[in-house]
Amino acid sequence: MENFYLRDLIKAVDGSFILGNPHLPVKNIGIDSRTIRQGQVFFAIKGKKLDGHDFIKEAVESKVSAIVYSKKDVDFKVFYTDLPSLVKVDDTSLALEKLAACYRRKFNVKAVAVTGSNGKTTTKEMLASIFAIRGKTLSNKGNFNNRIGVPLTVFNLTGDTEYAVFELGTSEPGEIKVLSDITKPHCGIITNIGESHMEFFKTPQNVLREKAGLIDGIDDDGFVVINNDNPYLKSYIPSISKKIITFGLYSGADVYAKNIRLWLDKPMFDMYIDSKYETIELPIKGKFNIFNALAAGAAAYGMGFSLAEIKKGLKHFNPPQMRMQSYVLKNGATIINDAYNANPSSMKEAINSLAQSYPNKNIILVLGDMLELGENAVKYHSEIGRFINSLPYVKSIYLTGSLVSNIKNELTDKKSKYFMTKIIICEELMKELDENSVVFIKASRAMKLDAVYDEIIAMDRLKK
């Protein structure tokens, strides 16, 4: 973080200066009393489970330079004798957002924001890898894609940052627009629209309206990258006033793919832009990752990168953890960890891709609950069950969770088992696996089904 002064912070957040030295330099911003450092400013954020105001004492003991707080009943004099500077605001979360928006505008960085129902993180990582060819690039770490994580990411901008890629997530109406306003991108990518966050948005049309909030924050001379193969997005294109670059698997898009070879160890395809093409090699499987690569390529091309640079960046990008992460066991079986998250759209896409990526293999699914689906959760899980039941290449299904019983009820033509614990899944799986087996693991993140992947690898390594 570039140094600025407490007086600038106070102005940016519309705060009231209570105590201290307004001319102090601010080294960085923190919200976690366990990791806050000496000289940083502590924002006492009130979350769903914890309230940062309850940890002000720990922040003071860490010798922070200032505390931004909102509660009226915090009596600092009772607890502390050596107080840092104090700034009072109406809402610390909103203050964090205001400060991030102000800080972002200090830099003439070339920024891209990425949102969509699926593929956000992988697209972000692909694009960041391309940008890194030319200069220092900032992107979100982990799940820092919400109204707390995005501001904290913005604070990592420095004077030598040339590019930034911000992933924008949402769990409530209006969140994408807020995050787009903070990050002020030159380009916005909407990867796709599907059945995600249905607990909050009810219908894909509402998801579309939320994701389209990204467009409002884009520079006036910026552009939008849109999935031309997604029916929701394709129908929305006429309502977009900014420049548009489309991507898809067909020549109707501005950036498209031909000659796709998914069965190779490293999938390959030809990326076409303006009648030119480069053969792209990806270090990650799945047809849906071709879409992610096309989205990243379209954004990079719009930002002035050549096809050769795009090819190089995509070849060397590091796939994020728990996204089609694969490991080959000693007996030749392949295990795939795609357990970072799941919704009906991503579940179908991922399972569909298995037959293309692993032809003539026995596919074994290990599935857990898809969460945040609201009142239609039972219906969506039943649909996944019927979908799997129709697939000839799926050999057996291992299930755990409460909602997956609705998947099992539809598996009339398949061998399926339900398990209460993950360790028993591992023990049973190991009995079934051979060189023709491909195990695919997927569920919502809260199910922590990646533990099955880790345990199977640990068990395999113990084998002689």
Task: Give the domain ranges of the chain.
Answer: 4-90, 107-315, 325-462
How many angstroms separate the CA atoms of 56 and 74, rounded? 9
pLDDT of residue 4: 87
CATH 3.40.1190.10 fits 107-315, yes or no: yes
**Fold identical between 107-315 and 325-462?**
no
pLDDT of residue 231: 95
CA proximity to 404, closest of 445, 371, 437, 357: 371
Contact of 166 with 139, CB cutoff 8 Å: yes
Q: How many CB atoms lie within 10 A of CB 422?
A: 21
Cα 395 to chain centroid, rounded: 31
Give me the CATH topology for the region 4-90: 3.40.1390
pLDDT of residue 81: 67
CA proximity to 356, closest of 458, 262, 242: 262
325-462: CATH architecture: Alpha-Beta Complex (3.90)
Contact of 390 with 404, CB cutoff 8 Å: no
Q: What is the pLDDT along the chain (464 residues), one digit of tens a residue?
A: 888 899 999 999 999 999 999 999 998 999 999 999 999 999 999 988 899 999 998 999 899 999 999 988 787 776 666 789 999 999 999 999 999 999 999 999 999 999 999 999 999 999 999 999 999 999 999 889 999 999 999 999 999 999 999 999 998 999 999 999 999 999 999 999 988 878 888 899 999 999 999 999 999 999 999 999 999 999 999 999 999 999 999 879 999 999 999 987 889 999 999 999 999 999 999 999 999 999 999 999 999 999 999 999 999 999 988 899 999 999 999 999 999 999 999 999 999 999 889 999 999 999 999 999 999 999 999 999 999 999 999 999 999 999 999 999 999 999 999 999 999 999 999 999 999 999 999 999 999 999 999 999 999 998 87
pTM of the model: 0.92
3-state secondary structure the chain: CCCEEHHHHHHHHCCEEEECCCCCEECCEECCCCCCCCCCEEECCECCCCEHHHHHHHHHHCCCCEEEECCCCCCHHHHCCCCCEEEECCCHHHHHHHHHHHHHCCCCCEEEEEECCCCHHHHHHHHHHHHCCCCCEEECCCCCCCCCHHHHHHCCCCCCCCEEEEECCCCCCCHHHHHHHHHCCCEEEECCCCCCCHHHHCCHHHHHHHHHHHHHHCCCCCEEEEECCCHHHHHHHHHCCCEEEEEECCCCCCEEEEEEECCCCCCEEEEEECCEEEEEECCCCCHHHHHHHHHHHHHHHHCCCCHHHHHHHHHCCCCCCCCCEEEECCCCCEEEECCCCCCHHHHHHHHHHHHHHCCCCEEEEEECCCCCCHHHHHHHHHHHHHHHHCCCCEEEEEECCCCCHHHHCCCCCCEEEECCCHHHHHHHHHHHCCCCEEEEEECCHHHCCHHHHHHHHHHHHHCC
How many angstroms separate the CA atoms of 285 and 350, rounded? 10
CA proximity to 352, closest of 397, 390, 325: 390
Contact of 411 with 395, CB cutoff 8 Å: no
CA proximity to 263, closest of 123, 390, 438, 391: 438
Structure tokens at 260: 């796709």
